[in-house]
Amino acid sequence: MATMEQEPTQGKVGGLVVEDLGVMITGKDIDIVNDIDLVLKPGEVVGLVGESGSGKTTVGTSLLNYSRAGAHISSGKVLLEDRDVLHLPWQQVRQIRGEEIAYVPQDPASALNPSIRIGKQIVELLALRGIGTDASRLQGARDGLAEVGLPNDDEFLSRYAHQLSGGQVQRVALAMAFLPKPKVLVLDEPTTGLDVTTQAMVLDTMAQLCRTHGVSALYVTHDLAVVANIADRVAVMYAGQIVELGPKEQMFREPAHPYTRALLDSIPHLSQARALTGIPGRTPAPGARPSGCRFHDRCSFAVDACAQAVPELHQIAPAHDVRCIRAEEIGHWDISRGTVPDSDPDKAREVILSVDGLDVFYGRKHVVHNVTFDLAKAEVVALVGESGSGKTTISRSIGGLHKDWTGAITFEGEPLAHSARQRSAVHRKRLQYIFQNPYLSLNPRLTIEQIVKRPMELFGLASGKEATDRVVELLDQVALGPRMLKYQANRLSGGERQRVAIARALAAEPDVLICDEITSALDVSVQGSIVALLEGLRKERGISMLFVTHNLALVRSIAARVEILQAGRVVEAGSVVTVMETPQEDYTRNLLSKSPRID
Amino acid sequence: MSAEEAAPPPDIAPAEPSTFRKAMGQKRFVVGLTITVLLVLFVVIGPHLAPFGETEVAGPPFSKDGVLGTDYLGQDVLSRLMYGGTSILLIAVFGTLVGMVLGILVGVVAAYAGGWWDEIIMRGNDVVLSFPQILLALVVLTAVEQPTAWILVLLVGISHAPRVARLARGVALGIVTRDFVIAAEALGEKRTRVMLAEVLPNMSAPLLAEGGLRLTYSIGLVGALGFLGFSTDPGAANWGQMIQENRLALSTQPWAVLAPCW
């Protein structure tokens, strides 16, 4: 059993108790999650952290007795005040959902009905159940919106979801969830895709509401840094099991499970550059999970005994449980492990690409204003900003993917034409673009070999057998085996696809890589290994990189210089150390203070 | 495998099983395939197995002689049925092919070119689309004295093309904005190659479905033209023409009409 410190049963036990929960694939003897024990105390926020495929969302929805099509809840109990949600008749479960256990989905923009006005949508549940009168419901909606810091006049209530910003929509969803005064709240990555300042605001609102209303919350996320800011306790999931569970401070100071440590090692810090590392291998899918400890095949501390039996979750410190037989033997961990000196701000620079007075337009809309910066050989320059700051637009203009711009982009002294088609083959070859979403950037109908080979054929670098050998070499460089050659892209995981995309860019033997948020669609451990890979390429091949990101902590670890963008203008620029240690602009300071951090 | 080949290249995983193999695992596909193959076999082998010749008189008109009786000239309905499918099926298949190729070409080019070109091509397409399929065919057929097979093929193809083009453009629009197409652009691939190698292969599923649907329409269209008397050879057996010839005796010898319908 997990946490054993339930309050003595005085009348009703508040919160929610999950015992031995298991979810299986229907019709097969394959578990998606199993052996989940968790206690949510009233007013407490528990962070449930895991990478994609760990089963964290499955656990989240199981608390409402819901499982996706193709899966069913096979065992366990979810006790809400001594009622087992999993074994109640469906009418009562329906009653509990929303009223007592509320759910805030990942993407509220798609969860809110686009054709119902906000005011009506917020009270939809109450109206459906006939709770209160029209007037009292309207008052409730107004109070709820005020609580989440949104306007509550008639004008706002009559808006549709698409007339709100992402952060507003998420806060409307929060107000909606809190309106029936639920006892338990399940939040499924509610801030993914929001800017850091908006995210900070939503998180504050949520934490405050939970505490004032005594609501217990399960915060499901992949982002350890977010959890470090809001959760009271943290549960780390891997391959369908909780591997570590403990109070937040302890989890970040003394993580005991090798997986937790590896995750923390792959997260960049705001205060210091780090040599990020990934976790070798990939998260096993349900049905392909190894016997014994499910992490043993990727664990650097594994011994033979690890493969024998599934370790039990056992207590190593008060309220701190770990599912590892060697937890006590593997020594201490230090959060500053892996820090490296920041890149030297005074290093001599040999400029290879310079952007001078760049203005970019979308039709009549002027989106980027007079941006000037340059990029030196073997240097990483980061473009940082929130959504709408123009960072991707700038990178696309440089890459020749957007042609409606004025100003000068010079590559080794030669001006670059506006669109890729107008540029010379040499320019196209030497400047390579890597896209944000690896699920869209590889043609699903081609094999990996065809994809990586194409730039070589196009630029006449190699062909036939020789090209195939080069492909194998490149795949090896990006840590993919030759096994993948004949695979189609859809058989690969996100991290593997992004590596193929990098291999494709490298196949052209470029001098400059333009990386557009290339790690934001990936898990942190995968991000860690991709960053390590890019750092190696920079050092060995002297490739320069323009690194577009919204993650300031990542900038600290990867870049030498940084351009902070706001609404299409550079507000602050300079070496990473200078900008991050002594920010001059309020905007930069605000970004830095709102960024979630674990250090 | 011989001993010399004992050191294979480091394990390269085999390519995916072919789409056909995967499809054979599905019951639906197998049933559909069986029906199609049986029909095609009937049409192809039929003329060789027919008990009477195509225009041979087998008995008095509209009699019950033979399996399905005789028609208005006393020809055997079963034999006519077996002979009559070939021309319809061939014209329909080729007509559909022509229509699909034309339509896909127009649709993909419009979606890929975008902007004004897209507008011009698709509005032109709308004009062609506004002619009723059968009317367009009738106008042309009344103008020529004796239609040949290729005129029918072209007519069927042209009447399908604008409809296919609308679908192809819709599907292609969702693909041309995807990053892998932009990546090919950034590499400077030829435009034709971007369309053929990057865009087209990703449209196969909806296009195949559309192709199947268009084929059934084609058969109906060619049959209808035959019924209206526009077939390549007035004497030859043709399912559409057979219905027309024998409709007078629908009450006494229904098979002569029903068999070709079926």
Give the pLDDT means over successive 10-residue stretches in chain A (599 positions). Answer: 41 74 88 91 91 88 89 90 89 89 83 88 88 89 87 90 85 88 89 82 86 90 87 92 92 91 89 87 83 89 88 88 88 82 82 92 90 92 89 92 91 90 90 89 88 89 86 84 82 84 90 90 85 89 92 91 92 91 91 86
Note the pLDDT of residue B2: 38
Residue B13: pLDDT above 70? no
Domain-located, residue B84: yes
Domain-located, residue B86: yes
> Rounded CA gap, A473 and A598, in Å?
37
Q: Which residues of B touch A491 (CB under 8 A)?
A: 16
Q: Encoding tokens for residue A179?
A: 């309106």
> Rounded CA gap, A337 and B124, in Å?
67
With beta carbons less than 8 A apart as the criterion, state whether B75 and B55 touch: yes
A431: closest CA of chain B, how far (Å):
9
Note the pLDDT of residue B10: 42
> Rounded CA gap, A478 and A476, in Å?
5
Q: How many helices, marked H, and strands, marked E, lie in chain B? A: 11, 0
The more confidently predicted of residues A278 and B9 is A278
Break chain A down into helix, strand, coil percent, rounded to 5: 35, 25, 40
CATH number at residue B80: 1.10.3720.10
Q: Encoding tokens for residue B102?
A: 């034309």
> Rounded CA gap, A311 and A239, in Å?
14
Q: How many domains does chain B have?
A: 1
In 3-state terms, what secondary structure has residue A282?
A: coil
Note the pLDDT of residue A396: 92
Q: Which residues of A touch B183 (CB under 8 A)?
A: 433, 435, 441, 504
Residue identified by tokens 């705001």 is A270
| Contacts with B18 (C-beta within 8 Å, 6 or more apart), sequence order | none
Tell me the pLDDT tens digit for each residue of B173-190. 888 888 899 988 888 888
Q: Encoding tokens for residue A393?
A: 């637009």
Q: Say yes or no for a CB contact (<8 Å) between B178 and A440.
A: yes
Note the pLDDT of residue A499: 87
Note the pLDDT of residue B255: 67
Domain range for B52: 37-261
> Rounded CA gap, B160 and B99, in Å?
5
The more confidently predicted of residues A113 and B49 is A113
CB-based burial, A270-290: b 16+ in 10 Å, e otherwise: bebbbebbbbeebbbebeebe
Task: Determine the average pLDDT of the residues in B209-234.
Answer: 80
Containing H/E element for A566?
A: strand A561-566
Confirm whether pTM is higher than 0.90.
Answer: no
> Rounded CA gap, A414 and A482, in Å?
38
> Rounded CA gap, A561 and A383, in Å?
9
Among A259, A263, A236, smallest CA distance to A306 is for A259
Q: Number of C-alpha atoms within 13 angstroms, CB side, residue A149?
A: 13
Domain-located, residue B102: yes
Domain-located, residue B28: no
Q: Encoding tokens for residue B141?
A: 């057929």
| E-state strands within B131-232 | none
Cα nearest neighbour of B191 on chain A: A421
With beta carbons less than 8 A apart as the criterion, state whether A230 and A219 touch: yes
Domain-located, residue B27: no
Containing H/E element for A22?
A: strand A16-25
pLDDT range class, residue B7, cuts 50, 70, 90 = very low
Q: Which residues of A touch B185 (CB under 8 A)?
A: 401, 420-421
Residue B169: pLDDT above 60? yes
Cα nearest neighbour of B189 on chain A: A458
Domain-located, residue B10: no
A108: closest CA of chain B, how far (Å):
24
Q: What is the DSSP letter of B60?
A: S
Pick from A400, A428, A486: CB nearest B13: A486
Report the 10 Å Cβ neighbour count for A122. Answer: 27
Chain B contact residues (CB < 8 Å to A): 9-16, 178-180, 182-189, 197-198, 201-202
Q: Give backbone dihedrals phi and psi of A546, rounded to 5 degrees, phi first.
A: -105, 115
Containing H/E element for A385?
A: strand A380-385
pLDDT range class, residue B69, cuts 50, 70, 90 = confident
With beta carbons less than 8 A apart as the criterion, state whether A23 and A67 touch: yes
> Rounded CA gap, B160 and B137, in Å?
11
Q: Say yes or no for a CB contact (<8 Å) between B12 and A485.
A: yes
Cα nearest neighbour of B174 on chain A: A440
Q: Which of A209-215's residues contact partners 24+ apart within 8 Å by CB, and which partners?
A: A209/A147, A209/A148, A209/A174, A209/A178, A210/A43, A210/A44, A210/A45, A210/A185, A211/A43, A213/A43, A213/A178, A213/A181, A214/A14, A214/A42, A214/A43, A215/A42, A215/A43, A215/A178, A215/A182, A215/A183, A215/A184, A215/A185
Q: What angle do CA A266, A267, A273 make, to 5 degrees?
A: 100
Note the pLDDT of residue A9: 41
Domain-located, residue B3: no
With beta carbons less than 8 A apart as the criterion, state whether A404 and B170 touch: no
> Rounded CA gap, B39 and B216, in Å?
13
Residue identified by tokens 């007035």 is B234
With beta carbons less than 8 A apart as the criterion, state whether A48 and A58 touch: no
Chain A contact residues (CB < 8 Å to B): 399-401, 420-421, 423, 425, 428, 433, 435-437, 440-447, 454-455, 458, 481-488, 491, 504, 508
Domain-located, residue B7: no
Note the pLDDT of residue B15: 56
Q: Which residues of B touch A454 (CB under 8 A)?
A: 184, 187, 189
Q: Which of B18, B182, B204 to mutate to test the interface with A (most CBs of A within 10 A)?
A: B182
With beta carbons less than 8 A apart as the criterion, state whether B80 and B70 touch: no
